Amino acid sequence: MIIVDLHLHSKHSRATSKNLSFENLVKYARIKGIDVLGTGDFTHPEHFKDIKKLKEKNSIYYCKDFPFIITGEVSLIYHQGSSRRVHLLILVPDIATAEKINAYLDTLGRRDYDGRPIFGISCIEFTKKMMEISRDIEIIPAHCWTPWFGVFGSKSGFNSLKEAFGEQIRNIHAIETGLSSDPPMNWRISELDNFAILSFSDSHSYWPWRLGREATLFEINKKDISYKKIIDAIRENKIMGTIEVDPAYGMYHFDGHRNCNFSCSPEKTKELNRICPVCKELLTIGVDYRVGELAERKEGFIPENAKKFYKVLPLQEIICLYTGKGISSKENWEIYNSIIDKFRTEFNVLLDVSLNDFLSAEINEKLAHLIIKNREGKIKVKPGFDGVYGEAVVEEQKKLF
CA 107 vs CA 32, 67, 73, 128, 199: distances in Å? 39, 31, 17, 16, 31
Is residue 37 in a domain?
yes
Spans of the chain below 70 pLDDT: 394-401
The pTM of this model reads 0.96
300 domain-assigned: no
**CATH code of the domain containing 173:** 3.20.20.140
Is residue 193 one of the residues assigned to a domain?
yes
Pair 103, 227 in one domain: yes
CB 151 within 8 Å of CB 291? no
Are 243 and 215 in contact by the 8 Å Cβ rule? The answer is yes
Tell me how many domains the chain contains.
Answer: 2
Q: Determine the pLDDT at residue 335.
A: 98
Where in the sequence is the domain holding 361, given as residue range(s)? 314-378
Residue 274 domain-assigned?
no
133 lies in some domain: yes
Same domain, 236 and 333: no
pLDDT in tens, 102-148: 999 999 999 999 999 999 999 999 999 999 999 999 999 999 999 99
> Does residue 92 share a domain with residue 16?
yes
Are 324 and 225 found together in one domain? Answer: no
Q: What angle do CA 24, 30, 36 make, to 5 degrees?
A: 90
> Residue 52 falls within a domain, yes or no?
yes
Same domain for 13 and 132, yes or no, is yes
For residues 14 and 152, membership in a common domain is answered with yes
Q: Are residues 102 and 217 in the same domain?
A: yes
Q: What is the pLDDT of residues 284-329, one digit of tens each?
A: 999 999 999 999 999 999 999 899 999 999 999 999 999 999 999 9
The count of other CB atoms within 10 Å of the CB of residue 95 is 17
CA-CA distance, 384 to 253, in Å (whole number)? Answer: 6
pLDDT at 283: 98
91 lies in the same domain as 171: yes
The number of CA neighbours under 13 Å toward the Cβ of 123 is 32
* Residues 332, 240 share a domain: no
Question: Which of the listed residues 206, 224, 249 is the one where a domain comes to its end?
Answer: 249
329 and 240 share a domain? Answer: no
318 in the same domain as 245: no
Q: How far is CA 109 from CA 66, 104, 142, in A?
A: 33, 9, 21
Residues 239 and 344 reside in one and the same domain: no
Task: Give me the pLDDT at residue 393, please.
Answer: 87
Integer Cα distance of 264 and 253 in angstroms: 10
Residue where a domain terminates, one of 249, 275, 295: 249
pLDDT given for residue 199 in this prediction: 98
> According to the model, what pLDDT value does residue 394 have?
64
Last residue of a domain, one of 209, 227, 249: 249
Cβ atoms 98, 42 nearer than 8 A:
yes
Does residue 284 lie in a domain region?
no
What's residue 395's pLDDT? 54
Domain presence at residue 272: no
